[in-house]
Amino acid sequence: MVPRKTGRTVLIPVAALGFATLGILTGAAWGEGPKKQKTPVFPLTLYAAAQPEDFIDDQACAECHPEISSEFSKLYHAPLVLDAKLPPDRRGCQACHGPGSAHIANLDEADKIGLNVVRYTQIKPEEVNAACMRCHGSTMHTAQWNRQPHAKAGLSCLSCHTVHHSNGSTSAESKRASAGDIRTAGSAANLETTPQLRSLKASETALCGACHRREAAEFRRNFHHPVPEGTMVCSDCHEAHPTKKSAGRQPFARGACARCHPETAGPFRYEHDPVAGWTGDGCLECHRPHGSPNPGMLSSFSRGLCAQCHSDLRTTHYPGQTCWNSGCHEAVHGSNSDRTLLTR
């Protein structure tokens, strides 16, 4: 018995060694090797190559850019970058524009100015975003942003945000009173004169409406969320860009709608499938979130709304009435007492 045990003990490590060697050879044959680190994009390359002596005093920037330096203390970023205890690559102008010594040394060579300092109007959207993510990476994942429609449309942080201008900026507490009129969104006058929030180029509603014109037009309908009145803003429902905090939230219909309409969200003993989020688009199966000609912002105000899903049910309906206002299925969002949603 002992020799057999010894034989097994020896053979198992030998076999394991053989498989390991085979794996190494196979990997080498297919060209597998250590993964290469992704090369940083501009302007991160400026910071990666910078030495402490490459950073200059911000007063040198102010001499050529007085129109910006005179207002810098009022800007959203000012308290975050004016701390003298910060490292030089996180302080003042150079926190965003890169080390300034090479820029100062090549002021007479126009073709080199853009190579030695970050000029945000001259670089690609992904380069703008990479620069902003140096500080804002703890709030938002680059990978999350790259999957969003805004990123895929070629927008950058500066498509919506301003850094150097503070005219009309407002605090978060006053955002609803100064929301602006989304129904006139997109006009140059509105974008220039409406108040701002969080360093936005314009009021939130005007800024969103400048691109999302179809949605802005829907707020002209008789029944709409009170965005034009300034009671709500777009970000009450929509995430302009995802954050680590918002990544774990409920799906749109169960999350965004239920925050203001908890009485319709349940849970109920007898759930209505779209409301529960089991099928379809949730609340959007029946409602138009921006505006509708029908009461309750419904897609239609007739029994045809229910028949879109319940086409297999045959019953007699009286003209001019709906399934929910004729005294029948009144608990359309869900019921704790009746399987057919007749009563709440």
Domain positions in the chain are 44-136, 167-236, 252-335
CA of 249: how far to CAs of 239, 258, 308, 338, in Å? 11, 12, 29, 30
For the whole model, what pTM was predicted? 0.70
* Range list of H helices, the chain: 2-29, 44-49, 58-64, 66-69, 78-81, 94-97, 101-105, 110-116, 125-136, 142-146, 149-152, 188-193, 204-211, 213-218, 252, 258-260, 273-276, 304-307
CA of 141: how far to CAs of 133, 135, 236, 245, 314, in Å? 8, 12, 21, 11, 51
The model's confidence at residue 84, banded by pLDDT at 50, 70 and 90, is confident
Is 219 in contact with 182 (CB distance < 8 Å)? Answer: yes
238-265 pLDDT per residue, tens: 888 776 666 555 555 567 888 888 888 7
Least confident stretch, 145-154, 195-204, 233-242, 287-296: 195-204
Give me the pLDDT at residue 116, please.
83
The model's confidence at residue 195, banded by pLDDT at 50, 70 and 90, is very low
CA of 279: how far to CAs of 24, 271, 275, in Å? 48, 11, 8
CA of 185: how far to CAs of 6, 147, 194, 210, 245, in Å? 83, 26, 10, 5, 30
Give me the pLDDT at residue 128, please.
93
Rg, the chain, Cα only: 30
Q: Tell me, what DSSP letter sits at residue 332?
A: T
Three-state DSSP at 292 gives strand
Q: Tell me, what DSSP letter sits at residue 257?
A: I
Give me the pLDDT at residue 32, please.
52
Is 206 in contact with 191 (CB distance < 8 Å)? Answer: yes
Closest-CA residue to 76 (of 167, 198, 181): 198
Three-state DSSP at 186 gives coil
Share of the chain above pLDDT 70, in %: 72
**Encoding tokens for residue 322?**
């709906």
pLDDT at residue 213 is higher than 90: yes
Give me the pLDDT at residue 198, please.
63
Q: Is the peptide bond before 34 cis (omega within 30 degrees of 0)?
A: no
Average pLDDT on 296-304 reads: 85
pLDDT at residue 8 is higher than 70: no
Give me the pLDDT at residue 141, please.
76
CA distance 224 to 296: 9
pLDDT at residue 5 is higher than 80: no
CA distance 266 to 263: 7
Q: Is the peptide bond before 43 cis (omega within 30 degrees of 0)?
A: yes
Phi, psi dihedral angles at 184 (to 5 degrees): -110, 15
The residue that leads in pLDDT, 249 or 311, is: 311
Q: Which residues contact 332 (CB under 8 A, 6 or more apart)?
A: 272, 286, 323, 324, 341
The residue that leads in pLDDT, 70 or 225, is: 225
**Average of per-residue pLDDT values in the chain:** 76
Give me the pLDDT at residue 227, please.
93
Phi, psi dihedral angles at 292 (to 5 degrees): -155, 150
Give me the pLDDT at residue 303, please.
75
CA distance 201 to 160: 6
Calculate the CA 198 to chain-centre distance.
14
Give me the pLDDT at residue 254, please.
62
Q: Which residues contact 207 (CB under 8 A, 6 or more apart)?
A: 160, 185, 191, 200, 201
